[in-house]
Structure 1
């Protein structure tokens, strides 16, 4: 992610909705060096920010609805959440939660693209989003996994104004020449019941070491540390509650 601060149209935040917030806070704290701060207001519903040093890096929350899966959700910064939701609907996406104010922090909505991949919108007010990107322990890349690449390459540029850099191997998303994510076409390696989804990747100093430590802390290794041709060294993990995330070597983004 070449952006080093929250930028309109780009990823600005990630949240983990999980069946065991305490276990998640412990696991990611050990893995990435995050420090937890829970909002004690009852109306905050146990929302916990995870800090890397003094900078907010991510959030851990309980599951707020019976049908909500344990999963990471990527949030994109927008100037006007209501207008963006209208554009999403016009382009064939859906609103799972219409825009709503979150205290004085910002305005928030939960939406899907045309294939059902869930993501969120954040119209910042007092809270801009992550205060750190690309550094070890911070968000560094986001990847859409979808079975309908053609629809995705029409939908996201129309909604966010993204650039599309495509090769036979991989498609990258960007803004003004700065790529922050990509798209993987789901094939027979993905069971039919696995829906389209956004996957966050966190930067780490040493992918091999991080994958080994994560496994020792109870995570499943879905992809061992691997060098991507003409790309970074990456690994993909699933935490003990079932949330999938990736790691990549810091400095390899873009």
Structure 2
């Protein structure tokens, strides 16, 4: 059975001047695939893969296009218009996606993008967006392991740091004193679980924890030294800002990596910089 907000493979029933009618089952009945959406080759009784949503007349309609976000997921979408009923977002389909006023947390501006959750409203059956993200984030205790690599989407900032959606399910925090580059809402990036607390809160990092992080940084420093002919005017005496600009890491992490390379007799250190050992 086909449902609004899902992709489905439907049978072509007949052609009309304005498009093809598809069999969407008992719940939706016959659904129109507009002529502008029709495939080049088709025949009555054949099948077509479509996404189901509502048109501007609030009728179920099919499209062969893929929306930028599927219902049930979070996305970073641009506001195209603000009207008396809410904001309309660009999600890649002919009919823009409604973000009702009741689902907004702040005044939205045309041309700006925001992180939203997209879902089928159980009351109306329509696909809508919301800025009230916490309602759709998993509040149960997570089973992430320390050091686990995860996919993040940044969605807000607090006094502690940056809030991120983890694997499209949970919320976590990247602490500000552990972030050494500019982050923005909607940005997707790889991250690592530092700690999953019993209360469900999750601490995150942009860098591999422990030894793995230092190993990665050692390799980067060695590669950079080789590209620079064996010498780099960067040292433990360099300002933290200069180290961060060069490698995107804290001075502490830099000193750990260079110290490890020195102990392995791979580099020589001085106040002027570091040099590869032949």
**TM-score by structure 1 length?**
0.26
Max Rg structure:
2
Query: Highest relative contact order (Cα 8 Å, sep 6+), 1 or 2?
Result: 1
Q: Which has the higher strand share?
A: 1
TM-score (structure 2 length as normaliser): 0.25
